[in-house]
Amino acid sequence: MNPLQQNRQHLTRRHFFGRSATGIGTAALATLLNKDLSAESSQSRTAIGGLPSLPHFAPKAKRVIYLFQNGAPTHVDLFDWKPRLQEMHGKPVPNSYIGERRFSTMTGKADGKLLLAPIEPFKQHGESRAWVSGLMPYTAKIADELCFVKSMYTEQVNHAPAINFMLSGGEMPGRPTIGAWLTYGLGSETDELPAFVVMTSITKDTTCGQIFYDFYWGSGFLPSRYQGVKFRGSGDPVLYVSNPNGMSREVRRGWLDDIAKINEMKMDEFGDPEIATRIAQYEMSYKMQASIPELADLSSESRETLDLYGPGVEEPGTFAHNCLMARRLIERGCRFVQLMHAGWDQHNSLTTELYNQCRDTDQSSAALVMDLKRRGLLDDTLVIWGGEFGRTPFLQGDLNNRARWGRDHHPYAYSLWMAGGGVKPGVSYGQTDDLGINVAENGVHVHDFQATLLHLLGIDHERLTYRFQGRQFRLTDVHGHAVNEILA
């Protein structure tokens, strides 16, 4: 029995047979207790908080690591192999592929634009014979673990709205993001760390980075305790987690006990259950002060593991570091880890910055999947890798000036991959047309993707709702279907 459950039984006894004079917190606790007493828990950890009605059915995944690639990775250069694009290099896009489609104001109308071959050759890998670009050698090696979705499409053509759409189901700020919905619905598995953690990084010297707006991990209209806690790339990982200079942990401990004693007196006098919550809040903050440095201390990791994640892993603020931290977070009960790596917006730097971008993300993404696997965590951890839209199979720039080749925003088709957490490994789902411009088969809309993600966590996306401004809101708005074909 883990300590949490032990404590719980103590409390149960105390609750029913012992202390009840002022009934502190019992009203709030009753629901929780009922749930825990009746629930048959096969989980190694018990959720803290969350909705009593969740999960709706047995989950495949218990937690999620979302490796979000800001700026929109170029699908036709990485995972969506189009031999015909190679053949038609330098030729204008046939009009039949474009019609009246709207692109960004940088492109305007797409007719007459010249097609651009993938900038590096592709090869097939593993038993699944997955096509992966030479830009992604490490990802190629683990292709058999991955489920590629090549028929994603979205409705947004600019970054911020598209990222919001992907993460919150709405293009404007103000809706809860996936991580907020999950912690609201499923609760947390840790009382020492936040349940929803965000870490950001950017490839050094990148010229095409987009700002990480805090609404990318916002809780929207859900209470703000569900918003993601952003771990920082420098200084304390969590703001204000360190005691002030000259305040040792012993001095702090002593005063926290004293604060608790006085707060208890207050509680006895006032009977406000919020006071009990306050006492717990301060106790948890103390635990967090220990668990966060422990989390960030990589000295227990072997050299082999560190090397697996690649260069920069010991440097806070890098993608490699964040990947390793993601594993450590979910090991400690974190529900949703959202890494965001910026710099994929290659309007004129396909032959330069794309290489750096792949170098900085390929190895650690693959390492994370393999590290989770060998630790037995991949089965119930869902890993997702992808951005907010794709990039145009046609060229932005001058065909004769290779050094400045680029691709513009492309919402009509893009790729992402998922691994673990109840997703079929070694498959590729959906197809684009022979130039990678439009979805040709089994299109997956952003809301479908979100419905699938929730499904893997045991949630019916139509039934996880929250009432705001007189309406029941949900992550998938009023759309979306889980993609059953990719479920293991």
Site for other proteins in 326-345 (CB under 8 A): 342
Site for other proteins in 83-112 (CB under 8 A): 104-106
What minimum distance in Å lies between the beta carbon of 57 and other proteins? 16
Q: How far is CA 400 from CA 114, 396, 404, in A?
A: 11, 12, 9
What minimum distance in Å lies between the beta carbon of 384 and other proteins? 23
4 binds other proteins (CB under 8 A): yes
266 binds other proteins (CB under 8 A): yes
Tokens of 418: 């998922």
Site for other proteins in 59-88 (CB under 8 A): none
One of 85, 98, 178, 276 touching other proteins (CB under 8 A): 276
**How many residues of this chain interact with other proteins, rule: CB under 8 A?**
109
Classify residue 275 by its DSSP letter.
H
160 binds other proteins (CB under 8 A): yes
261 binds other proteins (CB under 8 A): yes
What minimum distance in Å lies between the beta carbon of 410 and other proteins? 14
Nearest by Cα to 156 from 78, 102, 75, 208: 102
| Cβ contacts of 110 within 8 Å, gap of 6 or more | 93, 98, 101, 103, 392, 394
What minimum distance in Å lies between the beta carbon of 243 and other proteins? 6
Of 44 and 243, CB closest to other proteins? 243
What minimum distance in Å lies between the beta carbon of 297 and other proteins? 19
8 binds other proteins (CB under 8 A): yes
What minimum distance in Å lies between the beta carbon of 172 and other proteins? 8
Task: Give me the amino acid identity at 309.
Answer: Y
* Distant-in-sequence contacts of 231-240, Cβ < 8 A, 24+ apart: 231/197, 231/198, 231/199, 231/325, 233/199, 233/200, 233/201, 233/316, 233/317, 234/316, 234/317, 236/292, 237/292, 237/295, 237/296, 237/316, 238/194, 238/288, 238/292
What minimum distance in Å lies between the beta carbon of 309 and other proteins? 22
Site for other proteins in 176-235 (CB under 8 A): 183-184, 187-188, 191, 194-195, 200, 202, 209-215, 218, 223-226, 229, 232-235
One of 265, 399, 403, 488 touching other proteins (CB under 8 A): 265
One of 255, 401, 403, 441 touching other proteins (CB under 8 A): 255
One of 43, 124, 285, 401 touching other proteins (CB under 8 A): 285
Of 124 and 281, CB closest to other proteins? 281
One of 114, 260, 296, 487 touching other proteins (CB under 8 A): 260
28 binds other proteins (CB under 8 A): yes
Site for other proteins in 39-58 (CB under 8 A): 48-52
| Cβ contacts of 338 within 8 Å, gap of 6 or more | 66, 68, 167, 177, 178, 179, 196, 197, 198, 199, 216, 217, 228
Of 215 and 394, CB closest to other proteins? 215
Q: Contact at 8 Å (CB) between 164 and 216?
A: yes
Tokens of 456: 């893997």
What minimum distance in Å lies between the beta carbon of 246 and other proteins? 3
The count of C-alpha atoms lying within 13 angstroms of the C-alpha of 304, restricted to the half-sphere facing its C-beta, is 2
What minimum distance in Å lies between the beta carbon of 450 and other proteins? 17
Site for other proteins in 286-305 (CB under 8 A): 287-289
C-alpha 410/C-alpha 438 separation (Å) is 10
% helix, strand, coil for the chain, step of 5: 40, 15, 45
249 binds other proteins (CB under 8 A): no
Nearest by Cα to 200 from 71, 353, 350: 71
Beta bridge partners of 417: 148, 385
Q: Contact at 8 Å (CB) between 439 and 412?
A: yes
404 binds other proteins (CB under 8 A): no
Q: Contact at 8 Å (CB) between 288 and 192?
A: yes
C-alpha 189/C-alpha 62 separation (Å) is 10
